[in-house]
Amino acid sequence: MNERKHEPILFPIPRVVLGLGLALALLLPGGGAAADLPEPAGLTLEKGIEIALARHPLLKGKSAEIASAEAAIGLATSSYYPQVTASAGYERFEHPAVFFRPSGATAENLGDTIGPLDDFTARLEARWTLWDGGVRRAERDASVARSGGASADREAARQQVIYGVREAFFDHVTALRLEDVGEKSVSRAREHLSLAKERFKAGAVPKADVYKAQVDLADAELSLVSARSVVRSTMARLNTAMGMPAETEMNVVPPAESRVPPGEIDLAAGLSTAASRRPEVKAASLSVTVSEAGIRKARAAYLPRLAASGTAGVRDTDFVPEEKDWTAGVTLSWPLFTGYARGYEIKRAEADVDKEQARYQNLLNRVGEEVVVAHSKIRETYEAIQAAEVMLVDARESLRMAEERYTAGAGTILDLLDAQVAMTRAEVNAVEASLSHQTAYSRFLLATGEL
């Protein structure tokens, strides 16, 4: 009889979640505050997402960017108001005593010098730009668009955080289920070893059957050790994804098994939703708006500017000045030649618009690809679950028959161990298929902007 090699079952490590940047949550004060921890009943997926949205440092940084962008709107709006400055000063001077009257008059000699004298002043100065050809309007429109872009960036980050928690959560649930599969495999291996020993004592099988069953048990126990290590690792990654200290111990409550039939998902509707709701698309569209405002600002440089200015105050040689000192006027300025700088500025702004429009279109194409691929993955994983269930039923029946045949002396220990291996593989495949389907559906929601 040809002896077949018995291959060990290795439990796969689930995919890791978002990058190491999430670990920054550990550096924030208040990490692991009791108010954020789930109830003793256990951590549900919904509670995990709630904790992440409240604690994640990435979202806090994005909120600060929004506040900065809103402040920039106020800064751009401030240019519409008069600029008023208060000043007071003291000067001691001595000047030549000759001054010239208006054109055509002769110089009048008032002596050698005037002074030294004290000069005390106190005044208010105001300047108000009345018209600038649209520069301020373009700058404010650009600031508003940038603020919208910051809000879109935060929404994109929010959805990425949610996706990260979902992926880490399902990874951990999968690790728990694989641990359960490992425990069942160990239990079956012990039963098979006990059966082999009984048959050996009865003289029905050689001692080699016992050794082979012992090797199978050791292999199952080794795989269980690996599965338990994965449970600890995925728990740490889940904590990090939620913004919690990695060593936090939690009792995770697995969600109810759910499946999304591909026929219930409208791909065309998903593509349309992604184009209108994906925050990245919104941000790219607002970047085009910012560039278009740059063209308007560049063109406004060709137009004149009108400003009003004035001062009002007192001036005297005494410490408390009493003599009135005021000015008022209007200034019209119009740059006629700037070395072609304005023309080049317009060309640069137009090129920026073309660049942003191209980036926007490319992003739309990539978003469409993500939706199609995610939809295809849902179909694949849904069919994989069905195939895995059939495989599990067949493997269970095959194991039952192998056990009966070996007990009756009609089968070999290799047949029994092969059936045990097939059963464990079928259980692992069923668990992995369920995880892949959950992850694929989460990816589809992320791709359509509905997560």
Tens digits of per-residue pLDDT, 221-236? Answer: 999 999 999 999 999 9
* Largest Cα–Cα separation, the chain: 142
Digit-coded pLDDT (tens) for 333-382: 999 998 999 999 999 999 999 999 999 999 999 999 999 999 999 999 99
Instruction: Give the span between the Cα atoms of 434 and 448, in whole angstroms.
Output: 22
pLDDT at 187 over 50: yes
First-last CA distance in the chain: 58
Q: Enter the pTM of the model.
A: 0.78
Give every CB contact of residue 422 below 8 A, 6+ residues apart in sequence: 395, 398, 399
Backbone angles phi, psi at 250, to 5 degrees: -135, 150
Give the pLDDT band of residue 37 (cuts 50, 70, 90). low
Question: Residues 233, 16: contact at Cβ < 8 Å?
Answer: no
Neighbours of 338 (CB within 10 A): 12
Closest C-alpha to 195, from 446, 433, 399: 399
Q: Residue 85's closest CA among 313, 413, 398, 386?
A: 313
**To which residue do tokens 């001595």 refer?**
94
Question: What pLDDT sits at residue 111?
Answer: 55
Question: Cα(166)–Cα(441) distance, rounded to whole angstroms?
Answer: 10
In three-state secondary structure terms, 34 is helix
The residue extents of the domains of the chain are 20-28+36-80+134-302+341-448
3-class DSSP state of 318: coil
Residue 118 has pLDDT above 80, yes or no: yes
Annotation: CATH topology of 20-28+36-80+134-302+341-448: Outer membrane efflux proteins (OEP) (1.20.1600)
